[in-house]
Amino acid sequence: MHLPPTGSRPRVLHLTQPVDGGVARVVTDLTRAQLAAGFRVAVACPGGGLADRLRALGADVRDWPATRSPGPSVVAEVRRLVRVVEEVRPDLVHAHSAKAGLAGRLAVRGRIPTVFQPHAWSFEAVGAAPGLLALGWERWAARWTARTVCVSEAERLRGVRAGLRGPWAVVPNGIDPARFDAAPPSDAPADGPEDPDGVRRRHGVAARAPLVVCVGRLCRQKGQDVLLDAWESVLARVPGARLVLVGDGPDRARLAARSPASVLLAGPAPDAAVWYRAADLVVLPSRWEGMALAPLEAMACGRAVVVSDVDGAREGLPPVLVPHCLVPPGDPAALAGAVAALLLDAPLRASLGRRGRAHVRSAHDVRHTAAAVEALYEALLDGVRPTAGAGPGAAARPGPSAVPHPLPGDGPAAAGRSAVVPIECRESTHP
């Protein structure tokens, strides 16, 4: 295995499928930060917008044609990744989401330190037999995983309770405070693409209409159907309210078919920040998550949010927001009550928006997230470099995948937990 000399920056290979939504933003943010820090960064992903953006940043992008879901194409996808690994010769592989985690770990099989970041567990996305198969695979693949990186402690605990073993790290998601702010850039033209009033006008939303915005892939996970179930009750209490669904996905036609005139499907947005600023309230009624980015982005823009109480939601909110902003998943009545109550209370919305913004800027800055991931990489690579003064035939020190590093003070009573230190890499070695 090729290893960087001590003190040099490693060569990192990111693997990703999907290429949109939150996973793509995480990969983009990490790539940008790691290139700026002097890492040699390669990314294997399907061609398209993400690949183009990563090339523009200066990454070595390798085409990896891959479908979003497992299927017969997996064999060819694994073979392609084997060739990519041989060509790139990375010091460390970082696989994002279930499909890249499947193909990447089959291609590498532990020969190179491999970080797997599920971005929400695949076995939650499907039921019955497919879910059991996905869970069985995750249990098996743990042997080839130097670290499983979760974006919330709740996501880690769900994996532990499902029987997944091995060394863990918790690195909460972060956002770019310069991109997501309460006001558009000072040089943004009036009625331009970043003007909140302009985006309302262009989509036929009156300036004073109470506006609810939901940003996310149009799919079962994100729960837009639950929001539509709740919307009639919201309108009964807040006549004239409008709902905008921002994004695209497999459920678009079905959601459009059942949407009343007060609901607009705006399609994907190059920059969702303008919609957050245009909104009175941002809602994400997900059925499952690891830690969704949309609520963090909305809070960074100073907007109150309503989110379902799934993995990562409580950890992403300051405690003062929880009673007003957190609802049970899959509960249209509770969702309607929370949305209507906040639409009718502008002072409370403003207060929650200010508190949410301060929380995100202090606890979920993407720069801290990138630093935590960098520290994790260095710890893994320090564990497999030859010891100082060792000869060419000397064995490498055991890496974290073989001899995990427990937290200070961990013992039998502490097994299976991570230290609760926001943003910093939090590691645990036992289930």
Q: What is the pLDDT of residue 36?
A: 96
User: Which residues, in sequence order, are bridge partners of residue 94?
Assistant: 14, 115
d(C-alpha 206, C-alpha 222), whole Å:
26
Q: What is the pTM of this model?
A: 0.84
Residue type, 333: A
Burial class (CB in 10 A: 0-12, 13-18, 19+), 59: buried
If one counts every other C-beta atom within 10 angstroms of the C-beta of residue 163, the result is: 12
The kind and range of the H/E element at 232 are helix 224-237
d(C-alpha 397, C-alpha 394), whole Å:
9
Residues 6+ apart with CB under 8 A from 35: 41, 57, 58, 59
Q: What is the pLDDT of residue 124?
A: 80
Which residue do the tokens 């605990």 mark? 157
| Cα angle value 271/334/361 (rounded, 5°) | 40
User: Which residues, in sequence order, are bridge partners of residue 41?
Assistant: 12
> pLDDT truncated to tens, each residue of the chain (431 aa)?
555 655 578 999 999 998 888 899 999 999 999 999 999 999 999 999 999 999 999 999 999 998 877 778 899 999 999 999 999 999 999 999 999 999 999 999 999 999 999 998 988 877 677 788 889 989 999 999 999 999 999 999 999 999 999 899 999 999 998 889 887 765 566 666 778 999 999 999 999 999 999 999 999 999 999 999 999 999 999 999 999 999 999 999 999 999 999 999 999 998 899 999 999 999 999 999 999 999 999 999 999 999 999 999 999 999 999 999 999 999 999 999 999 999 999 999 999 999 999 999 999 999 999 999 999 999 999 876 544 444 333 333 333 332 233 322 233 333 333 333 333 344 444 44
d(C-alpha 129, C-alpha 319), whole Å:
38
Backbone angles phi, psi at 76, to 5 degrees: -65, -35
Q: What is the pLDDT of residue 6?
A: 55
Domains by residue range for the chain, with CATH: 11-174+366-428 (3.40.50.2000), 196-363 (3.40.50.2000)
d(C-alpha 98, C-alpha 396), whole Å:
30
Burial 242-273 (b: 16+ CB within 10 A, else e): bbbbbbbbebbeebeeebeebbbbbeebeebb
Q: What is the pLDDT of residue 23?
A: 92
